[in-house]
Each structure stands twice: as structure tokens, then as C-alpha cells.
Structure 1
Amino acid sequence: MAQVLLVEDDSALRTSLSRGLSERGHAVTSAGTAMDGLNLIVSCKPDLVVLDIGLPDLDGREMLRMLRAASRVPVIVGTARGGEDEIVTVLDAGADDYVVKPFSVGQLDARIRAVLRRGGEEQPRPEVLVVGGLRIDPAARSATLDGSRLDLNPKEFDMLHHLAVRAGQVVSKRELLTEVWQLPYGGADKTVDVHVSWLRRKLGETAREARYLHTVRGVGVRLAAPDEFGADR
């Protein structure tokens, strides 16, 4: 059984698909708008999303891009436009698979099972990282400090995770721009500086009184537990 979120504005189709997938053993939550769908992704943490392109409040492709900025949950796009350009567009935007309307519940169920099988084989659950009182869970995209959850935006989390993977090492701003912002050929160092400042504030520290995030002038940033870092700024 999978936890499936169905985002579809056609109420009759939404009801039919929800019933059919439930009969096949899935636990289905549904939404009729993109914003309701995005909220449910955060609150329900589904195993897979079935996403309609033609939503009333936001184009489904734009919702997919927003979703991909915050989550790696598998997405199957449902579209009435089956041309090659449309399919390439949704796959490039981050979809794992697609179905062209009209489609049967049986076909959708088979695609759900196939996508989840691929995910199980190719994407083992990432290791939880611990740096001092910081605990970073890449699969849940959550981080806690001394047991309290940190309210991080997607880029703050990505940067913290990247630094935690290299805990104790100095990471250059260029590497952060390349790996976190996907800007291999350019980008402003100020982007990194601003996010480091935001992240420090959420960690309850400042540049003058750093505990976890340490700037090495002219080199980069290092994440280390408070008792592991020397005065080399």
C-alpha cells in the first residue's frame, strides 16, 4: 500500500480515481488545487503524487517545479496533451512518469507500482547526519538542534545538508553555488553570505559568536560541532 496524493481539479475524476486506487490498496488523499496539494505534501508526506497539469490556480508544471525545490517525492503527471514536446517538458520539470488522459485506474495503479519499485531500488534512504546537537534527516528534509525542529527554507536546508556531509571541512562558496544553487558558471558570493547569515540566526548564533557555522576568510565556510572547531577564522 502506498500513501498517494491525487491533485486533480475535476471533482468527478478525482472521486473516481480516489475510489479506484483505494480499492487497490492505496491510501489516497486528494486536492483540487495546486496550493491545497502543496500544503498536503508538507502535512501528509505522501509516498507518491499524481498531478494534473490543468489546475485552476496554478499551472501543474509550475507546481511541479515548486514541489521539486522542496521534495524528492515521486510524481506521475496526468495530462490531456500527449505530444512529445509536452511530455519532454513535464519530465524535464521533474516528473518521474506520465499518463495521457483518458487513462484507466488499472494503468495508473501499474505506473504507481512501477515508479515506487524504481525508487526502492535506486534511492535507498539517505543516512541521517549528526553534528554535535544538530541532526539532519535528508529523507524527511528536516533538521533539529538540541531536539528542537529548525524552520528552514529549501535552500537553507540544502546548504546545511551539504555542509554536514563535509562536516569539519572548509567548503568554498564556489562549491556551494555549484552544488546547492546549480550555478557552475557564475553566481554572486553574496547569495551564500546571505543564506549563511539566515542559517546562523536560526541556529541561534552570530558571526562574532559562531558555534556551528564558521567563516574562513578568503576560503569558505565550515560546519563543525562547538567542541571540534579551533580559532582559525
Structure 2
Amino acid sequence: MTSNQPTILVIDDEAQIRKFLRISLAAQGYRVLEGANGREGLEQAALAKPDLLVLDLGLPDMDGQEVLRELREWSQVPVLVLSVRASEGEKVLALDGGANDYVTKPFGIQEFLARVRVMLRQAGPGEQQQASVASGPLQLDFAYRRVTLGGEEVQLTRKEYAVLAQLARHLGRVVTQQQLLKDIWGPTHVEDSHYLRVVVGHLRQKLGDDPADPRYIVTEAGVGYRLKEN
């Protein structure tokens, strides 16, 4: 195995499809990892840092569109959707959700491999994704979507976790209000800053963070928020 061998993660619940792709991709010199459901796939994505992800939408534990949404909260790894869902609406939803390409089943393996080669060329060297981020006793585990404070798990809503995860991915740097609103609520909500203020307020309460003397989340007035490096 060469050190520059691209790693491809296949998330599909059909064992036969995974086997077919594993054999086909390995024959082209790729290292292949597998996930049989959405949660397993997300864990593999965080821990193994693949260069490309092949994602089925019809997974047993969660919809592939949801897998894509969770993945895009913390990773920009290229995603090729491979699904029996052929409607324009499904394709648009996946591409708007962050997928880079979409292939419908049944598919031709040569075209599939060509699309993989194109995506890997466009991506360039693989982005180094972090499996976890810590700010003092506050830790985020992206693979399990788990937040702990001093070793104790903190229960967060989906939006609270998404905001904190976005700040953690840019530890020590300011993330603008507009960017947070666009990424988490969508492009039609970039002016709805009150949504963000409410969520940040709840986060501070759950983290025991004093807004007047913050240990974790700092407000940069008129700009956005920053998670401190502790």
C-alpha cells in the first residue's frame, strides 16, 4: 500500500453493492472502507478521514440526506451519492445539501470510476479532518456527535450542537453571524440573527458560561462568535 493511495469510504446497506464497489475500486488502486449504515459511516468518516465518500440514500438507520447534512457540519470531504432515487427533487436536495455528484442505480462501473477519478482530481490532497476538538474541559467528538464538559455529557439540541460544532471547527477564529445562519438555518435566514442569539444563549446556560466573562463562547460585537482556545 502506497502512502498516497486515496481512501474511499462506501456507505451502503447492501452487502453485494459494497463488495462489488470494493473489488472494483481496489482494482484501481484505491483503499476501500465500508459502512453498512449512516451512523457507522459517519464514525468512519470522522476517524479514517477518507479522500472521497460514496453514499447511498436508502440506509436502515437514517436517511442518506440526513447523513449528508450531519457530515457537512464538520467535513468538506467530496461526496458521490449512489442511489436508486432518480427523481430530480432528490438530486437537487442532495446537491444543495453538499453532495458533489449524483449517480443513479443501476449504474455502469466505468462511468462510476470515471466520476471518482474526476472528483479526486478536483479535490486535490485530502483535507485533514479532526475527529474531536477540545477547549479546556469542553470536548466535541464529531464521530459520535457527543459533547462533554469535564467528562460529563452535555445534552444539546440539534441546532445547539450544529452551532457549537461550527465554532469548534474554527477554534480560536471568529465565525460570522451570517455564515452560521446560512450554514445552519439556510440562505433565506441570514438576517434572522435572533435565532442565533437564542441558541447561543442556551449553549452558554448548558456550558455554565458567563457571557460577561466567557470561558468558551466569545461574542465579537457586530461580527459573530468565537470558541476560545483554552
So what's the TM-score if we normalise by structure 2? Answer: 0.69
Among 107, 116, 119, the alignment partner of 1:112 is 116
Per the alignment, residue 53 of structure 1 pairs with 57
- CA deviation after TM superposition for structure 1 residue 161, in Å: 5.2
Change in 2 beyond 3 A, CA 1:206/1:99: same
CA–CA distance in structure 2, aligned partners of residues 29 and 223 of structure 1: 33
- Alignment partner of 1:150: what SS? strand
- Alignment partner of 1:5: what SS? strand
Change in 2 beyond 3 A, CA 1:209/1:82: closer
Among 61, 74, 87, the alignment partner of 2:78 is 74
Per the alignment, residue 185 of structure 1 pairs with 191
Query: 1:106-154: CA deviations, max 9, x gaps?
Result: 3222111111222229xx96xxxxxxxxxxxx853754458x9932554
CA–CA distance in structure 2, aligned partners of residues 77 and 208 of structure 1: 45
Q: Tell me the amino acid that sits aligned with residue 200 of structure 2.
A: V
CA–CA distance in structure 2, aligned partners of residues 212 and 3 of structure 1: 35
Q: Tell me the amino acid that sits aligned with residue 115 of structure 1.
A: M
Within 5 Å, which residues of 2 pair with 1:1-233?
1-120=5-124, 139-140=129-130, 142-145=132-135, 150-151=139-140, 153-160=161-168, 164-166=172-174, 174-175=177-178, 178=181, 181-182=184-185, 183-186=189-192, 187-188=194-195, 189-196=197-204, 210=214, 213-214=217-218
User: Greater relative contact order: 1 or 2 (C-alpha under 8 angstroms, separation 6 or more)?
Assistant: 2
Q: Tell me the amino acid that sits aligned with residue 178 of structure 1.
A: L
* 5+ long unaligned stretches in structure 2: 141-146, 148-160
CA–CA distance in structure 2, aligned partners of residues 225 and 76 of structure 1: 34
CA–CA distance in structure 2, aligned partners of residues 207 and 2 of structure 1: 44
Query: 1:186-216: CA deviations, max 9, x gaps?
Result: 1332212233455x66xxx755654565558
Query: 1:28-57: CA deviations, max 9, x gaps?
Result: 011221222122112222111101122222
- Alignment partner of 1:99: what SS? strand
Change in 2 beyond 3 A, CA 1:208/1:24: same
Are the aligned partners of 1:142 and 1:149 in contact in 2 as well (CA < 8 Å)?
Answer: no
The count of corresponding residues between Structure 1 and Structure 2 is 202
- CA deviation after TM superposition for structure 1 residue 6, in Å: 0.6
CA–CA distance in structure 1, aligned partners of residues 228 and 39 of structure 2: 37
* 5+ long unaligned stretches in structure 1: 126-137, 227-233
Are the aligned partners of 2:37 and 2:61 in contact in 1 as well (CA < 8 Å)?
Answer: yes
Q: Percent identity?
A: 32
CA radius of gyration, larger in: 1
